[in-house]
Amino acid sequence: MVKAVNGQLVEEINRKAAAMRRNVIEMGYVAGDRGAHFGPALSSIEIVASLFFGVMKYDPGDPYLPDRDRFIQSKGHACLAYYAALIEAGFIPKDLMYTFKADNSFLSGHPSRNMKYGIEISSGSLGNGFAVACGMANAAKMKKENHRVYCLVGDGECNEGLVWEAVMNAAKNRLHNLIAIIDRNGVQLSGRTADIMDIDIEAGWNAFGWEVLVVEEGNNAAHLLDALIRMKDSRSGKPHVIIANTIKGKGISFMENSLSWHARPMNKEQYEHAIADLENG
């Protein structure tokens, strides 16, 4: 349930974010040589925590709740942040997190739809999750359903043409029940986003008719919560996008803003270093 906006709520989101960061490290480490996308998961922790523990409506006891808010992880490679939130929200038993990427585990390297555990759709092909989110929001609007669709998109993912087709479609259909959040951490698989495709994301979404809000400190729960509530309460009639400037690998000193920690395995020494960073942070 959505609570009143106050310091106590922000404190709870920060507490959940800290637990989620620890979950990400534990899950990624147990994957061993299979590796994990640490950097993009850690940059988006506060975004996902602010959604699940600040604004979204859901019930882990009834994952099919008709008027639940929908969360779509379009940047599916950052699924560790999603799984970490579902663990803290009570959808996934904590002991199952140690099966990440194991044989026969539903906790795969990209989300695979499993409503029992709160996973709304399968995603990973970049741009596809966002297009599905637009379709879900359009269906809800047509059926006059009273819920919102929240979609997490990567800044590198915005290079995909499918994203811009969906952006135009959402604006045309005035999907006011859709809130996209762009995790702008500045780093993608093969380099820095500014070097690969230096585009003005804010201008682009504005030009296509979306209501745009930039959060300069995208790992600040208070700022994110304020932005989410402003978009949730907006009466512009437009679809909404929050562009959150985040830090790749946030919270782990040797991962922050690193090109090499987009996706790779973690050894025991690195794991111990990461845990020490979290405990001393």
pLDDT averaged over the chain?
95
Whether the Cβ atoms of residue 16 and residue 53 lie closer than 8 Å to each other: yes
Instruction: Give the span between the Cα atoms of 162 and 159, in whole angstroms.
Output: 9
Lowest mean pLDDT among 64-73, 236-245, 257-266: 257-266
Produce one character per residue of 148-172: b if its CB has 16 or more CB atoms within 10 Å, e if not.
bbbbbbbbbbbbbebbbebbebbbe
pLDDT, tens digit, for every residue of 153-184? 999 999 999 999 999 999 999 999 999 999 99
Whether the Cβ atoms of residue 70 and residue 147 lie closer than 8 Å to each other: yes
Instruction: Give the span between the Cα atoms of 101 and 109, in whole angstroms.
Output: 6
Task: Please name each of the domains of the chain with its CATH number.
Answer: 7-280 (3.40.50.970)
User: What pLDDT does 3 receive?
Assistant: 43
Picking from 102, 189, 205, 197, the residue whose alpha carbon sits closest to that of residue 151 is 205
pLDDT, tens digit, for every residue of 187-204? 898 889 999 998 899 999
User: What pLDDT does 5 receive?
Assistant: 55
User: What pLDDT does 190 receive?
Assistant: 85
pLDDT, tens digit, for every residue of 103-130? 999 999 999 999 999 999 999 899 999 9
Whether the Cβ atoms of residue 217 and residue 227 lie closer than 8 Å to each other: no
Whether the Cβ atoms of residue 153 and residue 183 lie closer than 8 Å to each other: yes
Instruction: Give the span between the Cα atoms of 140 and 261, in whole angstroms.
Output: 38
Tell me the H-state helices in 55-107. Answer: 79-89
pLDDT, tens digit, for every residue of 26-66? 999 999 999 999 999 999 999 999 999 999 999 999 999 99
Instruction: Give the span between the Cα atoms of 157 and 143, in whole angstroms.
Output: 30
Neighbours of 3 (CB within 10 A): 11
Lowest mean pLDDT among 4-8, 35-39, 50-54, 143-147: 4-8
Quick one: average pLDDT of 258-267? Answer: 94
In this prediction the pTM is: 0.95
Instruction: Give the span between the Cα atoms of 234 and 274, in whole angstroms.
Output: 39
pLDDT-above-70 percentage for the chain: 98
